[in-house]
C-alpha cells in the first residue's frame, strides 16, 4: 500500500527528485511547509493559481522561462525549469532539470504508479476522440470519481499535466491520446499505464505526416498492444482496421457498433433536433433510449461508453439510464443562438472527411427555413486532399441550401457543391460579405481544420457579450 498522501505534496516531489537523481531542487531561504499539497500543473502562466506547478517550456513563439515571474505572482509554488529563475529570490521551490518536459513526464509516470487500483481508460481514434472522451468521462463520472483530460490534452504535454491532478479520491481516469506517427501512443502509454484501451476509428487524418493509412492504423494499435496482461480492449466493430487490432489484445475484447456481432449495438437510430433516439442492444436485450446528444455521429461514443461502463463493473441493466443522463454539453458541437434569430452550430475545432459528413448530417436535421454551411480547408490530408474536398462539396450540396467555402482547398468544396455556393480566399474576404449572404432565422454550420481558426467566424455570428 502506498504511503503517499492523497495528493501530490512538496515532500513527495522532494522525495521523487532525490530518488530519480534528475536535477535538483532550489529551495527559498524562508521555511517551507513540505506537507503543502500542489495545485494543478500548467505550462501557461496565465493558468497558474495558488499552489500550481508551472513547467517552463520553450514554445513556438516564446520561452516559458520568461513567464516564471508571472506564474509565481499568480501563486505557483513549484517551478520546473532548465535554469534557475533570473530573480535572486522567488518564493517558489524550483526544480532545475536539464529537460523540464522530460522531468515532468518522469514525475507523472511515478505518480501514476502510486495508484495501482486506478481504472485508466485510454481513448484514441482519427475522428471524434475528444467527444468520446467527454461522453465516457461524463457517464463514468455519474458512478465513480473520475479524472478526465481537459479539452483535448492528448499529447506528450497535455497528458502529463492532466495526470498530475490525480488524487486518492479518484477511482478512474479517462485520457485522450493523439498521434502524428508510430510510437506516439506507446510513449504516452508508458506514462498513463492504461488498463482499458478504446479505439474509435482509423481515418486519413494527419496523412501528410504519417504517410499512409496503414501507418496510422499501426500507430492507433499501440493503444491495444501496450495494455497490461488482462487489460480490456474496446474496439469499433464497424471499422475493419480497428477490429483487426483484437489480435494484439492481451486480455478481454469488447466491441461496439451498428453491425451484427458487436457486443454493444445501436439499432433504430433517429436524429432529432432535441437529441438522439435509439435502441441499445446487448446480449439479446433491447433498451429504448433518448439522449440529449445531437447527431447520429454520437452513437459510437455512446456505445463505447456502454462498453467502458460494463468493464468498470456497472450493472448492465443500469447502463442505459446512465447514458441517458449524459447532457448535451458533452457534445463537441455547440448549438448557439446567433444574431437575427439564427442558430449557429459551432464545430470549428477541427475537420476531417468523416467529421465533416457528420456535421453536415447534423445541419440537415435542424428545423430551419434555410441551412448554411461555412466550410474551410481540411488540412494534412496528403495525396487525398483534392478528392476529399470534392467529395465533401458534393455531400454539402445535398444537405445545405448555401455552401460557403473559405481557404484554398475549400475552392474544391464549392466547385463540387453545385447550386448556391460561394468561395472566399480567406476569412478577411468573407467577413464583409456575410451580411449579404445570411438571412434572418438561418441555421449556420461553421467547420474547418484547427489551423483555419474558424472560431473567429463564429464570433462574428454571435450577439456581443
pLDDT tens for 142-186 read 999 999 988 778 999 999 999 999 999 999 999 999 988 899 999
Strands (E), 63-157: 78-81, 93-96, 119-124, 146-148
Q: What is the pLDDT of residue 2?
A: 45
323: containing domain: 115-330
Please indicate, yes or no, whether residues 86 and 154 belong to a single structural domain of this protein.
Answer: no
Q: Do 166 and 90 sit in the same domain of this protein?
A: no
Q: Which of 303, 330, 357 is the last residue of a domain?
A: 330
Residues 229, 125 share a domain: yes
| Listed residues 300, 330, 360: the one ending a domain | 330
Asked whether residue 5 is assigned to any structural domain, the reply reads no
Residue 16 has pLDDT above 60, yes or no: yes
What pLDDT is recorded for position 151? 74
Looking at the 3D structure of the chain, how many domains does it have?
3
What pLDDT does residue 207 have? 66
SS3 of residue 389 by DSSP: helix
Q: Percent of the chain at pLDDT above 90? A: 74
On the question of pLDDT at 257 being above 90, the answer is: yes
Longest dimension (CA), the chain: 73
Indicate whether 59 pLDDT > 80.
no
Answer yes or no: is pLDDT of 1 > 50: no
Does residue 135 surpass a pLDDT of 90? yes
Give residue 4's pLDDT.
52
Residue 157 falls within a domain, yes or no? yes
Please give the pLDDT value at position 212.
87
In contact, 232 and 313? CB cutoff 8 Å: no
Shared domain for 250 and 399, answered yes or no, is: no
369: exposed, middle or buried (Cβ count in 10 Å: 0-12, 13-18, 19+): exposed
* Phi, psi for residue 95 in degrees, rounded to 5: -95, 105
Please, what is the average pLDDT of the chain? Answer: 91
Give the strand order in the sheet containing 93-96: 24-26, 93-96, 78-81, 53-55, 41-42
Residues 190 and 164 in one domain: yes
- Model confidence over 40-55: pLDDT tens digits? 999 999 999 999 999 9
Tell me how far apart the alpha carbons of residues 239 and 202 are, in angstroms, rounded to a whole number: 7
Q: What is the mean pLDDT of residues 133-141?
A: 95
CB 204 within 8 A of CB 381: yes
CA distance 356 to 377: 11
Question: What is the DSSP track for 5-39?
Answer: -SS-BHHHHHHHHHHH--SEEE--SS---TTPBP-
Amino acid at each position: 500500500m502506498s504511503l503517499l498522501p492523497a495528493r501530490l505534496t512538496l515532500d513527495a516531489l522532494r522525495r521523487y527528485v532525490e530518488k530519480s537523481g534528475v536535477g535538483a531542487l532550489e529551495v527559498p531561504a524562508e521555511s517551507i511547509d513540505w506537507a503543502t499539497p500542489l495545485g494543478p500543473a500548467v505550462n501557461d502562466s496565465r493558468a497558474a493559481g495558488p499552489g500550481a506547478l508551472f513547467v517552463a517550456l520553450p514554445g513556438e513563439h516564446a520561452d516559458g522561462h520568461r513567464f516564471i515571474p508571472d506564474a509565481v505572482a499568480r501563486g505557483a509554488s513549484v517551478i520546473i525549469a532548465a535554469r534557475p529563475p533570473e530573480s535572486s529570490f522567488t518564493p517558489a521551490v524550483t526544480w532545475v532539470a536539464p529537460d523540464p518536459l522530460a522531468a515532468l513526464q518522469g514525475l507523472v509516470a511515478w505518480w501514476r504508479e502510486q495508484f495501482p487500483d486506478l481504472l485508466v481508460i485510454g481513448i484514441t481514434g482519427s475522428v471524434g476522440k475528444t467527444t468520446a472522451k467527454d461522453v465516457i468521462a461524463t457517464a463514468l463520472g455519474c458512478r465513480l470519481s473520475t479524472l478526465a483530460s481537459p479539452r483535448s490534452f492528448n499529447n506528450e504535454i497535455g497528458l502529463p499535466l492532466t495526470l498530475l491532478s490525480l488524487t486518492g479520491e479518484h477511482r478512474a481516469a479517462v485520457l485522450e491520446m493523439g498521434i502524428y506517427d508510430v510510437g506516439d501512443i506507446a510513449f504516452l502509454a508508458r506514462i498513463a499505464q492504461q488498463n482499458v484501451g478504446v479505439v474509435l476509428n482509423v481515418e486519413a487524418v494527419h496523412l501528410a505526416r504519417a504517410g499512409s493509412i496503414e501507418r496510422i492504423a499501426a500507430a492507433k494499435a499501440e493503444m491495444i498492444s501496450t495494455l497490461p496482461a488482462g487489460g480490456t480492449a474496446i474496439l469499433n466493430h464497424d471499422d475493419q482496421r480497428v477490429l483487426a487490432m483484437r489480435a494484439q489484445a492481451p486480455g478481454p475484447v469488447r466491441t461496439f457498433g451498428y453491425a451484427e456481432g458487436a457486443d454493444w449495438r445501436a439499432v433504430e437510430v433517429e436524429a432529432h433536433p432535441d437529441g438522439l433516439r435509439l435502441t441499445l442492444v446487448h446480449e439479446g436485450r433491447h433498451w429504448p433510449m433518448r439522449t440529449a446528444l445531437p447527431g447520429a455521429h454520437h452513437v459510437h461514443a455512446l456505445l463505447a461508453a456502454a462498453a467502458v461502463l460494463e468493464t468498470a463493473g456497472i450493472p448492465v441493466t443500469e447502463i442505459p439510464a446512465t447514458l441517458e443522463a449524459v447532457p448535451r454539453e458533452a457534445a463537441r458541437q455547440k448549438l448557439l443562438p446567433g444574431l437575427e434569430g439564427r442558430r449557429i452550430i459551432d464545430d470549428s475545432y477541427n475537420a476531417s472527411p468523416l467529421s465533416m459528413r457528420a456535421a453536415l448530417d447534423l445541419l440537415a436535421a435542424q428545423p430551419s427555413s434555410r441551412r448554411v454551411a461555412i466550410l474551410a480547408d481540411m488540412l494534412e490530408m496528403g495525396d487525398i486532399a483534392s478528392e476529399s474536398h470534392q467529395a465533401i462539396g458534393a455531400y454539402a450540396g445535398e444537405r445545405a441550401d448555401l455552401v460557403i467555402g473559405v481557404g484554398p482547398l475549400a475552392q474544391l468544396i464549392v466547385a463540387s457543391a453545385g447550386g448556391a455556393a460561394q468561395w472566399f480566399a480567406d476569412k478577411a474576404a468573407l467577413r464583409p460579405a456575410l451580411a449579404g449572404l445570411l438571412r434572418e432565422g438561418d441555421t449556420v454550420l461553421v467547420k474547418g481544420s484547427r489551423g483555419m481558426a474558424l472560431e473567429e467566424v463564429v464570433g462574428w455570428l454571435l450577439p456581443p457579450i
